[in-house]
Amino acid sequence: DFARITGLQETGAVSDSELDKVRVQRDLADVMLKEVRVLLSQCEVLSPLAGIIQDRFVSEGEYVALGVAAFRIVTADRLKVLMSVPESDVLGAKVGKQIPFTVASVPGRTFTGSILFVATAAEPGSNSFKVELDVSNADGALKPGMIASVEYERGILTDAISVPLSSLIPSKGEYIAYEIQNDAALRRVVKINAIVGDRAVIQSGLEAGASLVIDGHRKLEDGMRVTVVEPDSEAR
């Protein structure tokens, strides 16, 4: 329409003031068009990552305020395993360390994750630290939400002494074991370094090669005379 008015102005059919008025209207329309285009571009919802829409929290035509979650996007090519590590073991958790784990719903496979994050403070109400593993899932074998069993290596013990856990008697925060010397049961207070399955790794209190009472030890007292019965001996 502005082009038509311009042509009329050149023939004298339209005054300069009328042309200026139409020019202002054109410029205002251009500004409004730009504003509408900006608003339209802001109506697009763009995901910061490629993935699958797992949940939708809004409906078509609904007004949504800034900061309100609209969709939950799940990406499965890389996953995180969240785990808690006790205070006594957190110093061994180093970023980049490879940690194996298994998932019950994917039998026969062992996966590996790399430590991505180690919390600098313990979780409230516990003495454990949050640790995150970064896991490659290129083949899609793992699904978000699966439960992993992590094989966390606490450390390698050399010349360690381990005894059956059942041979130890818990007593007021300590552990008691009875060692046989010269046909006498001697009470030993021991400290445990770790429990692995049905065995306890001893930190102190016992020497390598010590003979322990593993049956009937709860009835013993320090220095009580005993008769040693070998495991393959016939019971009397």
Pairing of strands 71-74, 128-136: unpaired
Say how many CA atoms lie within 13 Å of 198 toward its Cβ: 4
Helix, strand, coil % in the chain, rounded to nearest 5 = 20, 35, 45
Whether 133 shows a pLDDT value over 70: the answer reads yes
What kind and span of H or E run contains 25? helix 16-42
As a whole number of angstroms, the distance between CA 71 and CA 58 comes to 8
pLDDT at 108: 93
Whether 234 shows a pLDDT value over 60: the answer reads no
Cα–Cα separations (whole angstroms), residue 189 to 13, 45, 59, 184, 208: 114, 66, 67, 16, 15
Copy the structure tokens of residue 78: 């890389």
Q: Are 173 and 156 in contact (CB under 8 A)?
A: no
Cα-Cα-Cα-Cα torsion 66, 78, 95, 156, nearest 10 degrees, comes to 140
Residue 80 φ/ψ, nearest 5 degrees: -120, 140
DSSP 212: B
Whether 7 shows a pLDDT value over 50: the answer reads yes
As a whole number of angstroms, the distance between CA 124 and CA 84 comes to 12
Give the model's confidence band at 1: pLDDT under 50 very low, under 70 low, under 90 confident, else very high.
low
pLDDT at 188: 92
Domain layout of the chain by residue ranges: 2-42, 81-150, 161-225
pLDDT at 120: 92
Pick the CATH number of 81-150 from 2.60.40.10, 1.10.3720.10, 2.40.30.170, 3.40.30.10: 2.40.30.170
147 or 23, which is more confident: 147
Give the model's confidence band at 235: pLDDT under 50 very low, under 70 low, under 90 confident, else very high.
very low
User: Could you identify the residue written with the tokens 């410029």?
Assistant: 27
Copy the structure tokens of residue 77: 């090519």
Copy the structure tokens of residue 50: 């490629």
pLDDT digits (tens, 9 = 90+) for 91-123: 889 999 999 999 999 999 999 999 999 999 999
pLDDT at 25: 81
Whether 233 shows a pLDDT value over 50: the answer reads no
* CB contact set of 97 (below 8 Å; sequence gap of 6+): 114, 115
As a whole number of angstroms, the distance between CA 39 and CA 58 comes to 19
CATH top class, domain 161-225:
mainly beta
Copy the structure tokens of residue 19: 């042309």
